[in-house]
Amino acid sequence: METVERLKSEFSSSLTSLPSTNANETLLLLSENEALKKLVKSISTEFDILFTLLVVDRPPEAFELNYVFSRYRDSALLTIRVNLNHDKPVIDSIAKILPSAEWEEREAYDLFGIKFRGHPDLRRILLQDDWPGRPLRKDFVVTDEIRNWTGLDLKF
C-alpha cells in the first residue's frame, strides 16, 4: 500500500513491518512512542476510523497497544503496535485527532490503568470510580473480596 510506503519513508527509523496473520491487515511496529501522535495525524486522512484498540498485558516487559485503523471506502486494516513500559504505562492521547478513540482510551485506562496524556476526559468508564484494581491486567487475581464487592458498606 502506498500509505505504508509513505509512512515508512517518513518514520524510517522507528517503524518496522511485521508479518500479519489476518487478511487485509498491515501490521507495523512503532518503536518510538513519542511519534504516535504525529503518525496518527499523518494517516488520519487515509484511515479515518480507529476501529478498535487492543491492549495486551505482557508482564513483566510491556503493555502492547494495537491501534487497529480502518477506513470506510474499503476493507483495509492498518494496525500500529506500540509497546509501553509496564511500570509506567503512559502514552499520548489521540482522542483529539480521532474522536472515535476517546472512549476506547477511557476503557484502556479503566481496565488496564494506561494513562493517556492530553485526553479530554480521562475517567473510568465501565467500572465504578472506586473499583479496586485494574481487572484485565494479568496480575489481577479474582478473590472473594472482589467477587463480593458492592461499592457500598454492606455486610451480607
Partner 1 sequence: MKDSTQNKITINIGPVHPSTHGVLRFIVDISEDTIVKVDPEIGYVHRGVEKMAEMKNYNSFMPVADKLDYIAALNWEVLYADVIEKALNVSITPRTVYIRTIMCEIQRIMSHLLFLAHVGEDLGNTTLFMWGFRERELLMDVVEEVSGGRLAPMYMSIGGVYYDLTLSFGRRLLEVLDTIEHKVKNEYKAISYQNDAFRLRTVGVGVMSKEFGISHGLTGPNIRASGVKRDLRKDSPYLAYDKVDFEVITENDGDAYARFMVRINEILESIKILRQAIKEIPSGETKVKVPWFFKIPPKYTFVRHETPRGEAAMYLVTNGDLKPYRLKIRAPSFYAIQAIKDLLVGNKVADLVTILGSLDPVPGEIDR
Binding residue (CB under 8 A) for partner 1 from 49, 83, 113, 115: 49
Among 10, 100, 115, 133, binds partner 1 (CB under 8 A): 100
Maximum CA pair distance of the chain?
A: 62
Which runs of consecutive H residues, i.e. helices, occur in the chain?
2-10, 36-43, 102-112, 144-147
Does residue 111 interact with partner 1 by CB under 8 A?
Answer: yes
> Closest approach of Cβ 123 to partner 1, in Å?
10
Within 10 Å of residue 40's Cβ, how many Cβ atoms?
20
Burial class (CB in 10 A: 0-12, 13-18, 19+), 65: buried
User: Amino acid letter at 105?
Assistant: E
| Interactions with partner 1, residue window 124-143 (CB under 8 A) | 125-128, 135-136, 142
Residue 43 interacting with partner 1 (CB under 8 A) = no
Nearest distance in Å: CB 9, partner 1: 26
Whether omega before 132 lies within 30 degrees of 0, making that bond cis, reads no
The three grid cell numbers given for residue 100, joined into one nine-digit string: 472515535
Stretch that binds partner 1, among 8-16, 34-42, 47-55, 83-91 (CB under 8 A): 47-55
In the set 30, 36, 40, 68, which binds partner 1 (CB under 8 A)? 68
Query: Between residues 4 and 127, which has the closer beta carbon with respect to partner 1?
Result: 127
Rule CB under 8 A: is residue 77 a binding residue for partner 1? Answer: yes
Structural element, H or E, at residue 77: strand 77-85
Q: Give me the least distance between CB of 106 and partner 1, in Å please.
A: 9
Interacting residues of 2 by C-beta distance below 8 A, sequence separation 6+: none
Binder among 55, 65, 94, 114 for partner 1 (CB under 8 A): 55
